[in-house]
Amino acid sequence: MDNSLTIIVPVYNEEENLLRVEEKLNEYILSCRINCKILMVNDGSSDNSEKLMEDICKRNSNFSFISFEKNCGLSAAIKAGFDHSTTNLTGYIDSDLQTDPFDFDLLLEEIDTCDLVNGYRHERKDSGIKNLSSLIANTVRNWFTHDGMDDTGCPLKIIRTDYAKRIPMFKGLHRFLPAMILLQGGRIKQVPIRHYPRLAGTAKFGLRNRLVKPLMDCFGYLWMKKNYINYRVYKKS
């Protein structure tokens, strides 16, 4: 089967970035070697994001959007993207564009032998406190998951959609996507990508939801790992 890609773009109060999202992702669509479309997920934005998304979709046939009634969080936005993806590959990029859409090509080079390819921001352009908190969080998470990923929170990923749709999402699980693919018996890999400072808008995650909440989520993941149902049908009438 020929590959095709849906790129999920979660949006929460990102009106200052959305025109740049339109421009950059349109550039990538034109250069992408496979069929590619964009699905923006409005996570209950209270600014002008929804109106901008409506206008973007009217101008661009490869763009579509869905909107939540209220803010539900990043994991919910990603799950909604998985649920509504109709292509065999599903990607994910943040609307702040601190990662480069053209680096999806680096991930696509590996996806034929993997079920998830995770970006790795090896030269992050964030503040020292933000970088340190992410390093600590990734290290602790690795103690629990043993997935070998250095940057599970990286907002640039490609997943085989049939695997993505089987992930039993809960709040915070967007940080555990590689581990959840491993629970399904899938293959994962990380690839170094570029990273840029945020140019507009404000970050949605602080010290508490980078350290305290992720640590609590690790215990939720352990419970899920112990009780996870994974079966494969090898014969049927």
- Tens-digit pLDDT profile for residues 77-102: 999 999 999 999 999 999 999 999 99
Q: Is 228 helix (H, G, I), strand (E, B) or coil?
A: coil
Looking at the whole model, is its pTM more than 0.75? yes
Mean pLDDT, rounded, for 56-67: 97
Q: Taking the domains of the chain in order of start, what are their residue ranges?
A: 4-227
201: nearest Cα among 56, 93, 48: 48
Instruction: State how far the Cα of 66 lies from the Cα of 36, in Å rounded to an integer.
Output: 18
pLDDT band at residue 199 using 50, 70 and 90 as cut-offs = confident
Q: Dihedral (C-alpha) 198, 203, 205, 206: value to the nearest 10 degrees?
A: 90
Instruction: State how far the Cα of 183 lies from the Cα of 59, in Å rounded to an integer.
Output: 41
- For 141, half-sphere exposure in the C-beta direction (CA atoms, 13 angstrom radius) is 29
pLDDT of 205 above 80:
no
Mean pLDDT, rounded, for 105-123: 93
**Domain covering 4-227 in this structure, CATH number:** 3.90.550.10
CB atoms within 10 A of CB 18: 25
pLDDT band at residue 234 using 50, 70 and 90 as cut-offs = confident
Q: Is 158 helix (H, G, I), strand (E, B) or coil?
A: strand
Cα–Cα distance list, 139 to 121, 146, 198, 215 (Å): 15, 10, 24, 11
Structure token digits, residue 124: 């992050």
